[in-house]
Structure 1
Amino acid sequence: MGSFKGHVLPGTLFLAVGLWRVWASVARFAADPSNFRVRAWNPVTAGPAPLRLLELYVVAGGAFADMCVEVLYSTHLRIFAGGEVNPAHLNDLEHGGMLLMFFLFGALALLSQKTRCLPLTDGALCLVAATAFTAEFLLFYFHSTTHMGLEGYYHYLLVVLIGLCIAATVLGALLPASFPADLGAGVLIALQGLWFYQTALTLYGPMLPTGCARDADGHIECRNRGAEERAEQLANFQLFGHVFLAFVYVLGCYAVAAARYGHPDLTTTHATHVAATELRGAGGDEGAI
């Protein structure tokens, strides 16, 4: 079983990191498209020096705080019972193990930046991040098979987003100059955060679809198959809405970055494309005459 707060906390972390990564990726591309490189994390260049590693502090600190909530607070320190792991809190320990991987990614990146003990390239860190996303994928994949009905469907859609995130992160390690891979990873991280919020609002908040209700054990039951299908269709529509919001955000970031940091190559490429389009159009008009 989950909870509203249990989905909002990781959702906030994913959303904050994803939005920042999208903006940073677009800004770096707009500033110098020919020398663009994939980054496993993005430093804060504007502002005081201590803020430079803010993203890594958010990832490592947020994952560690959420891990403490899952392993210490949710279990009430009753991790063991009768000489073995308490079966009532295995779900919390599963979440804690997944969060540990994200904490390790943030910690390794910080060590790589602040010391000479463990110098890691962005490609290597991308693979570490992909490992963390893989742990998350496995956790929620098996969650989606144990949750039934509408709960399982929301977890299934989350698994799809996580799988795409793994693919984009690995692709960034293999193609270090790929702007689409870097941007796609940021967008998918942000979509994960939005979907955590949507899951919290729908399954544990005020947006539970008509025809479905939470029973005494906390499970969601729909009165018939038709109501469950309508609820799943609503989930699809919600996901499409979040994708549209992400698309608008990317366009807005690109417009602002192009106006603020626009490299001459962007203007030249755009002018060349427009000229070629007009030339093809003129050729078509002459042929028609």
Structure 2
Amino acid sequence: MANFGGHAIPGTFFLLYGLWLAVKHCVRRHWRQNQHKGRQKAPPSLDRMDYFEGGLKIFAAFVGIMVEQFVVDGPHARLYDRDSQSWVKLMNWQHGTMYLFFGIAGLACVLTTACKSLPLGLDRLALSLALFVEGFLFYYHVHSRLPLDAHVHTLLLMPIFGGSATVALEVFLRDNIILELFKACLFVLQGSWFYQIGFVLYPPSGPEWDLKSHDNMMFVTMCFSWHLAAAMALVAITSVAVCFAAKKCGGRCRDVEIGMRKTSSNPSSQKALLEESDEE
């Protein structure tokens, strides 16, 4: 949608999704480092995280398509108007196409979690393809626009195509925490930059931006670097907090497990427990 809300909605999704990826991958890394030898199957709690992620993508994609199609000034499932002999709201159709591929990525995430016989990395490949399609659509989204409008959308292509390449590498390099956190950082950057585009093109308050000013283009380019730094800091803080919490909870669980083992292995403790049960 050509308004601030149309950029804030996907911006919120990508921002929260990037933070979710940082949390999920840090939890998985903690589990890999502390699992018992010979244990390869992930616990149900980790599978539930994948089900949640896939289901959220499918739900968000469905809501996005419905909003793009059936808003007041939307195309309402009409692609071509025979009376005027023109296309109907192609921008809404492009956004809907982008949401469609993220829905497919969500479906692939659910299926690969539920059916272990599917090829490993299929979910990553589907997500990489969704990001590529998003970048492909945005690349042809900026032609014949004012300079600043085209520039802010062109900057968006960097985290999109960068994310697509990073996720594609994950198909072959599994469980690489550097790639996983970099992917999360690029999603956070993409989300925050959607907000920045909304503020530049459709400011909710204050003066409008001069879309032909070269100084504004220089500032926006510098602002993109600030967004990248903020995304890296946010992912780093989130990762450290999750790792600290996971180690603390894991240490408590191990202490409880060791205590139970010592109690069960002590013959006098077993005898006392048996005598107590007889007296009762």
- In which range does the TM-score fall when normalised by the shorter chain? 0.7 to 0.9
Structure 1 residues 142 and 112: CA distance shift in structure 2, 3 A: same
| Aligned residue type for 2:185 | V
Number of residues of Structure 1 aligned to a counterpart in Structure 2:
240
CA distance in 1, matches of 2:7, 2:177: 30
**1:132-211 equivalence runs, <5 A:** 132-206=130-204
**Stretch deviating more after TM superposition (195-204 or 69-78):** 69-78
CA distance in 2, matches of 1:179, 1:105: 21
Q: Residue in 1 aligned with 2:14?
A: 14
**Stretch deviating more after TM superposition (24-33 or 122-131):** 24-33
CA distance in 1, matches of 2:18, 2:76: 32
Structure 1 residues 85 and 44: CA distance shift in structure 2, 3 A: farther
Contact 1:113 1:119 in 2 (8 A): no
Residues 1:251 and 2:249 aligned together: no
CA deviations over 1:124-144 (Å, ceiling 9, x no partner): 211111111111011001113
Offset at residue 165 of structure 1 (A): 0.5
Structure 1 residues 68 and 251: CA distance shift in structure 2, 3 A: same
Q: Residue in 2 aligned with 1:128?
A: 126
**Stretch deviating more after TM superposition (97-106 or 80-89):** 80-89
| Aligned residue type for 1:17 | Y
Q: Secondary structure at the match of 2:111?
A: helix
Contact 2:122 2:171 in 1 (8 A): yes
Contact 1:201 1:208 in 2 (8 A): no
CA distance in 1, matches of 2:70, 2:150: 26
What is the alpha-carbon root mean square deviation over aligned residues? 3.1
Q: Secondary structure at the match of 2:203?
A: coil
Contact 1:67 1:99 in 2 (8 A): yes
Q: Residue in 1 aligned with 2:219?
A: 234
Unaligned residue ranges in structure 2 (runs of 5+): 36-41, 249-280
Q: Residue in 1 aligned with 2:59?
A: 61
Offset at residue 29 of structure 1 (A): 2.6
Q: Residue in 1 aligned with 2:24?
A: 24
| Aligned residue type for 2:226 | G
Structure 1 residues 188 and 51: CA distance shift in structure 2, 3 A: closer
Contact 1:202 1:208 in 2 (8 A): no
CA deviations over 1:95-125 (Å, ceiling 9, x no partner): 21221111111123223434x4x84345121
CA distance in 2, matches of 1:230, 1:209: 16
Structure 1 residues 232 and 78: CA distance shift in structure 2, 3 A: same
CA deviations over 1:187-218 (Å, ceiling 9, x no partner): 11111111111111121114777761xxxxxx
Structure 1 residues 51 and 206: CA distance shift in structure 2, 3 A: same
Contact 1:31 1:262 in 2 (8 A): no
Offset at residue 2 of structure 1 (A): 2.1
Offset at residue 154 of structure 1 (A): 0.5
Structure 1 residues 97 and 86: CA distance shift in structure 2, 3 A: farther
Contact 1:44 1:52 in 2 (8 A): no
Contact 2:81 2:88 in 1 (8 A): no
Q: Residue in 1 aligned with 2:272?
A: none
Structure 1 residues 258 and 101: CA distance shift in structure 2, 3 A: closer
Offset at residue 168 of structure 1 (A): 0.6
Q: Residue in 2 aligned with 1:269?
A: none
Contact 1:60 1:102 in 2 (8 A): yes
Q: Secondary structure at the match of 2:142?
A: helix
CA distance in 1, matches of 2:45, 2:117: 21
Q: Residue in 1 aligned with 2:95?
A: 95
| Aligned residue type for 1:155 | H
TM-score by length of 2: 0.75
